[in-house]
A = this chain, B = another copy of it.
Amino acid sequence: MTVQQQARLTLAAIAREAGVSAPTVSKVINGRHDVSVETRAKVLAVLARTGYKSPLQQRRTLADKPAVEVAVDSLDSAYNIAVLNGVMECAVESDIEVLLNLTGIQGASPVNPEQRAQRIVDEGRCGMIVVTSAFGDAPLDAFHRRGIPVVVIDPLNPPSEEVVSIGSTDWAGGKDATTHLLGLGHRRIAYLGGPDNVECNQARLHGYLAALRSHGVSVEDNYIISGPFQTDHGARGLDALLQLDPPPTAIFAGNDTVALGVLAEARRRNIRIPEDLSVVGFDGTSKAEESVPSLTSVAQPLQEIGRAALRTVLRQLRGEVPDSRRVELATHLVVRESTAAPR
């Protein structure tokens, strides 16, 4: 007895199943008018039930993995790389293609968001992950209107209602970092933060303030310095803080990049870390691990954030409504060499 091979689902098979001829099925599929209402209904029912796909469609679904676009401003950032890695991991598991869009490249034609969104629809892409602030609210709206899921990771500004954003527990992380320093015995702790108007920075600052207050440590206004999330800002910030009387014995930096700027400047000045000064960073990028001395840092689960972003896009595609417009994953403090008790 021959094992009946699973017959391929052809138009002819549909015709047989529906009790009509192949040409009739063809007409239904192609939206022709010369088919009676009853016949059409019968055929459509069989098509739906069997999930028939034309050869073209068959090849397409074999060939056309769904694709998601990831917009990142630059690859010169351990933060971005870690997030991208997480997205890629999830993409591999879910069999999704990833299109990389480097928004920060010099000479990149200014993105017309309407066109871009339209193109993404036309090409059958299924979503967009933004790991940068390069897209403001208006562009994101262009996607939203077309029903393309968009997830923003750690947006610099609070995104519009429509967009799902993923980030970390910045407030708790700021509190943890500061509590760690307080626990070591520090009382003169500076916050060398990021840009004033950036959400995550504000949350970290307020976590810092909360920790100080709950330990009854008074907050010195001139111990709080804001600026760009850049190495230079760390170096200049250390310079400014050292001029104070008394100077801080510990610095909580708004992110690892700033903290590494502090370490570099301290080295130039022969300030020993952690003996003379404790430093804590934020992000927990690979740079924190690799620096000398290695950097105590509030680690964000960056890889997991990337994975969660793609998972959220896929969930939205399935029509699920996200529980929340904002997801925050837990940070955790990683203590390394750059912090110790004050002398």
Mask of A82-102 contacts with B, CB within 8 angstroms, 1/0: 001100110011010111101
Nearest B residue (CB) for A90: B105
Residues 59-99 of chain A: 1 if any B CB is under 8 Å from the residue's CB, otherwise 0? 11011110100000001100001001100110011010111
Cβ–Cβ < 8 Å partners of A63 in chain B: 56, 118-119, 122-123
User: Copy number of this protein in the oligomer?
Assistant: 2
Expressed in whole angstroms, the Cα–Cα distance for A143 and B313 within the complex equals 32
Q: How far is the CA of A146 from the CA of B72 in the complex (A)?
A: 32
In the complex, A1 has a CB within 8 A of chain B: no
**Residue from A88, A95, A109 with most neighbouring chain B CB atoms (10 Å):** A88
CA distance A292 to B60 in the complex (A): 52
Once the chains are docked, how many angstroms separate the CA of A107 from the CA of B91? Answer: 11
A322 near B: Cβ within 8 Å? no
Contact pick for A267, options B84, B93, B292, CB 8 Å: B292
Q: Determine whether A286 belongs to the interface, using a CB cutoff of 8 Å to chain B.
A: yes
Measured CA separation A93–B62 after assembly (Å): 30
Q: How far is the CB of A160 from chain B (nearest CB, A)?
A: 26
A55, CB-defined interface residue at 8 Å: yes
Q: A108 in the interface, Cβ–Cβ < 8 Å?
A: yes
B105 and A89 contacting across the interface, CB-CB below 8 Å: yes
Closest to A267 in B: B292
- How far apart are the CA atoms of A88 and B76 in the complex, in Å? 13
Give the distance in Å from the alpha carbon of A100 to the alpha carbon of B67 in the complex.
Answer: 11
The answer to whether B102 touches A88 (Cβ under 8 A) is yes
A145–chain B nearest beta-carbon distance, Å: 17
Choice from B64, B76, B95 contacting A123 with Cβ under 8 Å: B64
**Max chain B Cβ within 10 angstroms of own Cβ: one of A56, A118, A286, A287:** A56
A88 adjacent to B62 (CB under 8 Å): no
Residue in B closest to A121 when the chains form the complex, CB atoms: B63
A75 touches B67 (CB 8 A): no
Determine if A56 and B65 form an interchain contact, defined as CB atoms under 8 angstroms apart.
no
Q: How far is the CA of A119 from the CA of B286 in the complex (A)?
A: 35
A306 → B minimal CB distance (Å): 11
Contacts of A67 in B (CB 8 A): 99
Residue A105 contacts which of B76, B88, B105, B290 (CB distance < 8 angstroms)?
B88
Partner of A92, one of B89, B108, B286, B292: B108
**Closest chain B residue, CB of each to CB of A69:** B97
Other than A75-B84, A97-B99, give 4 A-B pairs with Cβ distance below 8 A.
Answer: A75-B85, A75-B88, A92-B102, A92-B108
Q: Write 19 A-B pairs (CB below 8 A) sorted by A numbering.
A: A56-B59, A56-B63, A59-B122, A62-B119, A62-B122, A64-B122, A67-B99, A75-B84, A75-B88, A76-B81, A76-B85, A81-B81, A85-B102, A88-B100, A88-B102, A89-B105, A92-B109, A267-B292, A292-B292
A-B complex: 7 closest residue pairs judged by Cβ atoms: A63-B122, A88-B102, A292-B292, A63-B119, A92-B105, A92-B108, A100-B100
